[in-house]
Amino acid sequence: MDIGISVVIAHVGLTGGIASVTIEGIVRHRRDANVWTHFIDKIVDIGGVIGIIAVIFVFVIRYLFKRWDGLALEHRDVLAKQAEKCVECVREHEKAYDGMVDAFGERLRSVYQDMRIEMMALRAENMKIQEATTQAIIKTGDSLNNLTNLVNRLVGMLDRRQNGGS
């Protein structure tokens, strides 16, 4: 490929040299009888110089491409190392996040268990209060019943006394 590039560049240079010498030869043809010899010498000189420049140019380009390839490989290696570090950081953050989620879940479970225990205690206390209230209502009902019976007896006694009874 390098030789092909240099041949193309030399061919372009040679064509340019021919064109410039042809124009120069046409201008000088009127003054110089030996134009064709001069014309051929110019073509050979310019073509040779352009060919040498083309070969040097190809070697310079090849060197630059190798240098660029080397730099690209170095940058690729650096980027690969940075990508590995990023992956490690992401894994560490995932572990930390998982740890936080686990800790939060554990704390949530603990709070839920505490709330269940408190609810059970409140239910037990509520049951005691309901039982005590029921007993108080029953006792109050019994007391009212006894009071009613007592009042009825008193009323009965008063009725008998007023009626001149027993």
Q: Which of 5, 4, 11, 14 is nearest to 47 (CA)?
A: 14
CB burial readout 124-161, b (16+ within 10 A) else e: eeeeeeeeeeeeeeeeeeeeeeeeeeeeeeeeeeeeee
Q: Is the pLDDT of residue 5 over 70?
A: no
Could you report the per-residue pLDDT of 70-120, keeping only the tens digit for each? 777 788 888 888 888 988 988 898 888 888 888 888 998 999 999 999 999
CA dihedral 60, 65, 67, 68 (to 10 degrees): 140
Look up the pTM and report it.
0.36
Angle between helices 35-162 and 2-28 (to 10 degrees): 130
Taking all residues of the chain, what is their mean pLDDT, rounded to a whole number? 78
Please give the pLDDT value at position 58. 74
Calculate mean pLDDT across residues 123-140.
Answer: 91
Comparing 94 with 40, which gets the higher pLDDT? Answer: 94
**H helices present in the chain, as ranges:** 2-28, 35-162
Q: Averaged over 113-130, what is the pLDDT?
A: 92
Q: What is the pLDDT of residue 1?
A: 47
pLDDT at 122: 92
Whether 161 shows a pLDDT value over 60: the answer reads yes
Residues 15-41 have a mean pLDDT of 58
Provide the percentage of residues in the chain whose pLDDT is more than 70. 69
